[in-house]
Amino acid sequence: MTIDLHSGTRPAGVDAAVAAARRVIDALVRAGDMTDADMSDIADRLNAVADDLDSSSPPVDDRLVDMWRGDGMTRHDPVAGRENPIAPPLDYTAVDSRTIEAEATLGLPYQGPPSCVHGGVSALLLDHTLGVANGWAGASGVTAELTVRYHRLTPLFEPLTITARQISVDGRKIRTTGEIKAGGETCVSAEGLFIAKHPPRPR
């Protein structure tokens, strides 16, 4: 069962525009200064797009209210958010009532060591995935502690499986574990302690 984190009607074209931005980010990192493309012209065109968006964007406070309206399923987070061009994005599937998983193949924008995923990116993916597992299991909150263990380098350009499982709920304390695997081997694992509280939504 796929977990729908992106419910609600949105203006046509937003997801497509963000997907195009992801392509631009990836292409810029791949090109670097080893391209025959006219990067000055590309910069001018990208700035023109940004100017168009800036001129028609709402005030930040209004946008924050819009981001957090409805049932709380966010479209803007940097891991699964369809409206965030730095998100891979991850699509989650329920394994059971307390466990979720997603698959992703990360490219050069997420590189740390040569041809490997940056350790901070791995931690980001796991922190968010543990939080989604908590929401799926029915008891969620904010991260209080996240212990990340790096078992082996996490490769770019290869399918990764990211899983998380809620282990226990003791009053306001929620404990959750997760891991990132490549080729069936654990690359990174995490243990999280979450506290069942939620910051007030912007209004």
Helices (H), 13-79: 14-31, 39-56, 60-67
Domains of the chain: 91-195 (3.10.129.10)
Q: Report the 10 Å Cβ neighbour count for 33.
A: 5
Contact 194, 144 (CB under 8 A): yes
What is the model's pLDDT at position 5?
56
Please say if the pLDDT value at position 129 is more than 80. Answer: yes
Backbone angles phi, psi at 97, to 5 degrees: -70, -10
Range with lowest mean pLDDT among 36-40, 122-126, 197-201: 197-201
Q: Report the 10 Å Cβ neighbour count for 122.
A: 25
Tell me, rounded to whole angstroms, the distance of Cα 182 from its chain centroid. Answer: 18
Q: What is the pLDDT of residues 26-59, one digit of tens each?
A: 999 999 999 999 999 999 999 999 999 999 999 9
Please say if the pLDDT value at position 201 is more than 90. Answer: no
